[in-house]
Amino acid sequence: MSLDKSFFTRNTNITAKVICDSISEQGVRLTTFEIEYPRIVMSEFNTTRAISKNSSSSRAIPVSKMLEHTKSINLKPIYFGSKKSGMQAGDELQGDALEKVKLLWEEALDYASYYSETLDRLGVAKEVCNRLVEPFQLVKVVCTATDWDNFFNLRLHPDSDPNICMLAYKMYTAMQESEPYLLKAGEWHLPFVNIGWNGKGEMCYADEDFNFVELEQAIKISAASCASVSYRTEGMTLEKADKIFDMLIKAEVVHSSPFEHLATPVKKHLCVFKDNDYVFADSEVDLDLSVNLTYNNRTWEEGITHMNKQGELCSGNLRGFIQYRHLLPYNTNWQFDFEKRMELFK
């Protein structure tokens, strides 16, 4: 495969937009994207464990709407490489050969759409019908992380699948063009919520229509919006956010992943890891000497789950930030009861 810099100038349906970008007083950056890319490379994107993700689902979108969207975008692989041994494709097909395979791909979409629509008319659930056209779909994803370098290192590379290589390029350039806002402990990184500061220097939150809301309401709007990737086409009202929030945390099976995108910086702590040793932080910095002593986990704030090898406090997959997920009391099930669960299968 011979990708060069001109590859990144191609027209594509792949998009990446930074929707929330924060940096803590300790210099840790937390970035949330909304991205769209071909579903055929979703498995490659999902292997990156440092990234929190919520994706649009084929089970949630009506068949008619899915087919309308799939036909309108007429999605094709961004690069039709020639056959060769190994994982990577060879040089891109050219001329008549390229035009022929593009027509065959469109023909495959027509056949898949026909059978999907036929199954729908026969009363088959959308979670089955929509699977037939998944190779021709874009997937929309909200994704958040503090550590992106390994993802860019793996995917922004000539040997990676061209579709995810383009996605990584667009995400990297969007991140470079975005300027994160400074976030203090107690202030929140909330995707899909507008933020500002009042005359006292206190962070304020507002909905999509710039109506001011309390922090509790802002958290619900953000979590509900992250959870509604499949069908978030209209503004998120407080009433709708309350309903979705309750569905996420009050159901028999708690759905915690949307809360991973919401986070607040850990408080400054006394002991840090520097130059391969533990050292005391700058004495001029205002520190609470009873909180977040890295060598004593009993002083850690609620929501901190572990410390990495660099002596940085972490929460789930985030470094230097506390995920709202880890403030929920039952965010993970540690005592699965098989017998009780099987009672549901009557």
157 domain residue, yes or no: no
Taking only the tens place, the pLDDT of each residue in 187-246 is 999 999 999 888 888 899 998 888 899 999 999 999 999 998 866 556 788 888 889 888
| Listed ranges 2-6, 105-109, 275-279; the one with the highest mean pLDDT | 105-109
Cβ partners under 8 Å of residue 40, min gap 6: 77, 134, 135, 163
- Mean pLDDT for 116-145 is 96
Indicate left, alpha or beta for 95 from its phi (over 0: left) and psi (-120 to 50: alpha): left
Dihedrals phi, psi of 12, to nearest 5 degrees: -155, 155
pLDDT given for residue 164 in this prediction: 96
Which of 57, 280, 49 has the alpha carbon at shortest distance from 144?
49
- The Cα–Cα gap between 155 and 150 comes to 9
Would 111 be classed as within a structural domain?
A: yes
Q: Is 306 helix (H, G, I), strand (E, B) or coil?
A: strand
Per the structure, the count of domains in the chain is: 1
**Is 170 inside any structural domain?**
no
Cβ atoms of 313 and 299 within 8 Å: the answer is no
pLDDT digits (tens, 9 = 90+) for 266-324: 997 655 555 555 554 544 445 556 788 877 888 899 999 999 998 899 999 999 999 99
Which residues fall within 8 angstroms of residue 240, CB to CB, at 6 or more apart? 224
Output the average pLDDT for the chain: 89
- Asked whether residue 37 is domain-assigned, the answer is no
Residue 300 inside a domain? The answer is: no
- Let me know if residue 110 belongs to a domain: yes
Name residues whose C-beta falls within 8 Å of residue 18's C-beta, 6 or more positions apart in sequence. 31, 32, 33, 174, 175, 177, 178
> Domain range holding 69?
59-134
| Best mean pLDDT range from 14-18, 84-88, 283-287, 342-346 | 14-18
Residue 27 lies in a domain: no
Contact assessment for residue 185 and residue 322, using Cβ atoms and an 8 Å cutoff = no
Give dist(CA 268, CA 286) in Å, integer: 8
Q: DSSP labels for 195-246?
A: EEE-TTS-EEEE-TT--EE-HHHHHHHHHHHHHTTTT--S---HHHHHHHHH
| 57 — pLDDT class (breaks 50, 70, 90) | confident
The residues near 125 (Cβ < 8 Å, ≥ 6 apart) are none
pLDDT at residue 280, rounded to an integer: 47
Rounded average pLDDT over 134-160: 95
pTM value is 0.90
> End-to-end CA distance of the chain, in Å?
53
CA–CA distance, 213 with 195 (Å, rounded to integer): 10
128 within some domain: yes
